[in-house]
Amino acid sequence: MMISANINTWRNLNQRIKSASAALLVVFSIQCGAANIEGKVIKVADGDTVTVLDADNKQHRVRLTGIDAPERHQAYGGESTKSLRDLVYLKKVTVESSGTDRYRRILGKILLDGSDVNLEQVKRGFAWHYKHYEKDQTLEDRLKYADAEVWARNQRLGLWISESPVPPWEYRKDQR
């Protein structure tokens, strides 16, 4: 009788653990899925910030991770914005979100047909690889972005036509 009761207790406990594990798996899957946003880019604010409209007509302001583009009123700011607009405006994209910033923008890598738009901005010479936040990138992305910046500099593309372009983080500091 005692063995039978212990077996039933164990079976009940085992079933509860399985149910709890299944529930946690569902919650974890939902949270992981929520990290990606799919939608159409409806606004390009500057060379590293866009607004994406999802299928539920919710707008998401997205700050491109791994890069820092010239400010709008800074040299090459207009060209950087135009470059990003040419790449993504009114196109369907996927945003791989990695959190939010202090301005409540989503931080993310934008993919267009599987291609990394953030990296493309660096390759075109319209953004710096933002090394201050590179720890938030995968090692693979860190290396790709750093190589792309060196390549754009050597090719004198975009803002690298200038002998000594002012990085946006220095420009912002000087404006304060």
Domains of the chain, by residue range, sit at 1-34, 36-175
Enclosing H/E stretch for 47: none
- pLDDT value at residue 139: 96
Tokens linked to 64: 């491109």
The residue among 154, 128, 125, 144 whose CA lies nearest residue 64 is 128
How far is CA 80 from its chain centroid? 17
Residue 26 — left, alpha, or beta (φ > 0 → left; ψ -120 to 50 → alpha)?
alpha
Top-level CATH class of 36-175?
mainly beta
Residues with active-site annotation: 63, 71, 105
The residue among 145, 170, 175, 168 whose CA lies nearest residue 48 is 168
- pLDDT value at residue 148: 98
Which ranges of 35-136 would DSSP assign to H, the alpha helix? 77-88, 117-123
What are the distances in angstroms from CA 92 to CA 18, 42, 47, 128, 162?
39, 10, 18, 25, 33
Please list the pLDDT of the chain residue by residue as tens digits (176 residues).
Answer: 555 555 555 565 556 555 544 444 334 433 444 479 999 999 999 999 999 999 999 999 999 999 999 999 999 999 999 999 999 999 999 999 999 999 999 999 999 999 999 999 999 999 999 999 898 899 999 999 999 999 999 999 999 999 999 999 999 999 88
Q: Provide the whole-model pTM.
A: 0.79
SS3 159: helix
Distance CA 141, CA 162 (A): 26
